[in-house]
Structure 1
């Protein structure tokens, strides 16, 4: 069933490609980073299967291997289902752009062209949705999960921090800052899940986690997410200019966290995580990562303040306008909005230097990241303090702690007084 669905989806996709050649739209463009990462993962998976799990014709798979293959096919279709939904949403956004007369005149295609693609993509999405619904999540029960390498998490976290600092030093860009910020969100959320499991199993102080550490980690992830959104709006949707080693290090860290925390289609229970990895050791690894997060935020702030950063003119103009409006929210000015970018650069959407007002605002937002990261670092230090157990004082122990009374003097023989 899965094979037939994939073949039908492939046929529908080829038909859309032929139509694109005939109409000239959308034509070649930038690479969407998430879809590019999915494509790279599929290519790598295909290569690994061909190299290590190839089999001669006539030799069948064992029952566990067949169950794992079925689970893999379902995950592939689920990924394609999400991708087709994203493409449909993008087409809807493109169609909405025709509501603006100025935008409509600048477009070289018609609304009818977009509607035609929408209908075709909707067909792909519905077909994949039907196939996924038939097996999700029960078919994932047979998914193979090998033993977790106990050193993978620490090694991947160390490699990520190293590559992040190298990228900031050697290839600073809005794209580099966006990738680092977004991956920090994933790392902090995943690490928080491990620490929460440790707290539930009382490997660390549950009340300390509930009152201090948990809220601090959530706040730190929230601030990194805000920084990621700010950098993403200035970054072209194309990963070709981003350091490949940085992207790979981020993927490896996310994979190391996922293999511990995922159980089929849901998050693994704390007990399952504890079976896969030493949660006490994982909290030590995460403590070091939280310290690194604060240091990485400071390096990012230095880049935001001093590095020669450029970005496409249109998003730069839009972001700078939003910054100045926030700065002068109480100032009423009926004059036209100021322009920080030349009309020619705006028309070509050329890469331009970031205006000083925008730079200062971005650096300030990373200052909020640093503050939250420092708070999380302080709270995480409690994970490494082993509380001194209070003595268990029952009645017998209390008696043993008393100064014994003097022994009575031996009675001498003789008459009583």
Structure 2
């Protein structure tokens, strides 16, 4: 696996994003934390949790108040911040988790929320007047911040609960990163974080998702989707041909999955607009659903093999971020997918459908490149993820196991074991086959060519004697009856 000096970054970067895009990026990252619950991640997530709350509180306080005074506005986030401060002090006092690396997903949330605070302060001075039509934006921004904090807090609590259960199991305890925490200390942390989760949930009970949908959105640029798709296809193809890491492969698959969800929404809108027939639209959506069903297992395997690595090729990560932001700008309505009527108001459905069709065809090439990368003998993966996948294999394993113990304990980068390589190739091949089907289903069925057979003469009802007799060849004698 080749290194890319000067060409790596953590994903995603907050540069050049608007406040709304940064808030959605933070919320998306928090949801990803919820989708990746593992007891081994509990210490790293706990180290970063107080920073997530602090960054959320900082962004919250930067958002101006629409009325006089702000004590009533800041009360909820202030209380939550105090709980997080108490948890941090408890960690320092008890010494667990010990100092170490923080969770990469949580760090990305901190980066996005910190950028929100900096951006708002740079554009709005404390005594500037607030427009009447901006009140919905301000309330929506605070709602998005609290929801990101809530999702991250819930993910930390679930990881800690699994960590507590793992402590009670001799087999699972051996897999936890050392040093392990005491059961009583872990339980106290769970109770305190549960309190914080209750505070955040209480604020959102009467606001989410209605308030989050009250923001005022800028019109979508007519060519944003086409430009984002073209840039993504270029950078993804380049990344996949230059010794990609497993993290790069996971990013490509994840972005293609997001594209499939967007394409399915556009297929529905195109069907309502008459650009696809009632048969063609569902056929396209069914093919995309099948693609999602094969890409998701591959993404899960790549996630295990990536471990906690979040370093990607810089241009690939930037192109992915821009494309996913374009998808959300067009196809999301607050916290849910936009309906067909809203999509038709935001974009030209014909142009958007053409961009989707082009991306699905180009996605076949990306799928083949992913399959080639899965066959690369120099590809390296994390030992613990490789061990988990190899342990599911039915292939006879060597006496020493597929992964050496020293690599497993330190979670080192290793060459892909045989059963893991087989799994990756099988999953990548399935995804490629479904990508081909989705690309084919995205285009309307071709009309049948007009027939060239001359029309049969119409019967006029004239008498049989007046019709032209059929032409016959020379008569041949029939068989004798032998009288």
Work out whether the TM-score is over 0.5. Answer: yes
Structure in which a larger fraction of residues adopt helix: 1
Between the aligned partners of 2:100 and 2:377, the Cα distance in structure 1 is 28
1:24 alignment counterpart: 95
SS of residue paired to 2:155: helix
Structure 1 contact 64–142 (Cα < 8 Å) conserved = no
Question: Deviation at 1:150?
Answer: 1.3
1:415 alignment counterpart: none
Between the aligned partners of 1:18 and 1:354, the Cα distance in structure 2 is 42
Structure 1 contact 314–349 (Cα < 8 Å) conserved = yes
Q: Given the superposition, is the C-alpha separation of residues 289 and 24 from structure 1 closer, same or farther in structure 2, using an over 3 Å criterion?
A: same
Question: Structure 2: 5+ residue runs without aligned partners?
Answer: 1-71, 451-457, 459-483
Between the aligned partners of 2:398 and 2:240, the Cα distance in structure 1 is 37
Question: Deviation at 1:83?
Answer: 0.9
Q: Given the superposition, is the C-alpha separation of residues 341 and 242 from structure 1 closer, same or farther in structure 2, using an over 3 Å criterion?
A: same
Q: Given the superposition, is the C-alpha separation of residues 204 and 103 from structure 1 closer, same or farther in structure 2, using an over 3 Å criterion?
A: closer
Structure 2 contact 371–429 (Cα < 8 Å) conserved = yes
Question: Deviation at 1:336?
Answer: 9.5
TM-score of the superposition, structure 1-length normalised? 0.83
Aligned CA RMSD, in angstroms, stands at 2.5
Confirm or deny that 1:87 pairs with 2:163. no
Confirm or deny that 1:222 pairs with 2:284. no
Q: 1:37 pairs with 73, 85, 108, which one?
A: 108
1:23-57 Cα shifts (integer Å, max 9, x gaps): 22223444544433333332333333233x312x4
TM-score of the superposition, structure 2-length normalised? 0.73
Confirm or deny that 1:380 pairs with 2:442. yes
Q: 1:231 pairs with 302, 309, 315, which one?
A: 302
Q: Given the superposition, is the C-alpha separation of residues 276 and 226 from structure 1 closer, same or farther in structure 2, using an over 3 Å criterion?
A: same
Question: Deviation at 1:160?
Answer: 1.9
Confirm or deny that 1:259 pairs with 2:329. yes
Q: Given the superposition, is the C-alpha separation of residues 201 and 15 from structure 1 closer, same or farther in structure 2, using an over 3 Å criterion?
A: same
Q: 1:273 pairs with 333, 336, 343, which one?
A: 343
SS of residue paired to 2:414: strand
SS of residue paired to 1:311: strand
Paired residues in the alignment total: 377
2:276 alignment counterpart: 204
Question: Structure 1: 5+ residue runs without aligned partners?
Answer: 329-334, 391-401, 403-417
Q: 1:364 pairs with 408, 426, 436, which one?
A: 426
Between the aligned partners of 1:170 and 1:33, the Cα distance in structure 2 is 25
1:354 alignment counterpart: 416
Q: Given the superposition, is the C-alpha separation of residues 185 and 32 from structure 1 closer, same or farther in structure 2, using an over 3 Å criterion?
A: farther
Between the aligned partners of 1:344 and 1:264, the Cα distance in structure 2 is 48
Between the aligned partners of 2:216 and 2:371, the Cα distance in structure 1 is 42
Structure 1 stretch 243-252 or stretch 76-85: which is displaced more?
243-252
Question: Deviation at 1:273?
Answer: 0.8
Between the aligned partners of 2:422 and 2:119, the Cα distance in structure 1 is 46
Q: 2:247 pairs with 164, 169, 175, which one?
A: 175
2:388 alignment counterpart: 318
Between the aligned partners of 1:169 and 1:28, the Cα distance in structure 2 is 38
Q: Given the superposition, is the C-alpha separation of residues 162 and 15 from structure 1 closer, same or farther in structure 2, using an over 3 Å criterion?
A: farther
1:111 alignment counterpart: 183
Confirm or deny that 1:61 pairs with 2:130. yes
Q: Given the superposition, is the C-alpha separation of residues 113 and 58 from structure 1 closer, same or farther in structure 2, using an over 3 Å criterion?
A: same
1:38-81 Cα shifts (integer Å, max 9, x gaps): 33332333333233x312x4332012112211111111101111
1:247-276 Cα shifts (integer Å, max 9, x gaps): 332222121111112223333221111011
SS of residue paired to 1:190: helix
Q: Given the superposition, is the C-alpha separation of residues 33 and 248 from structure 1 closer, same or farther in structure 2, using an over 3 Å criterion?
A: farther
Structure 2 contact 390–420 (Cα < 8 Å) conserved = yes
Q: Given the superposition, is the C-alpha separation of residues 247 and 113 from structure 1 closer, same or farther in structure 2, using an over 3 Å criterion?
A: farther
SS of residue paired to 1:170: coil
Structure 1 contact 227–366 (Cα < 8 Å) conserved = yes
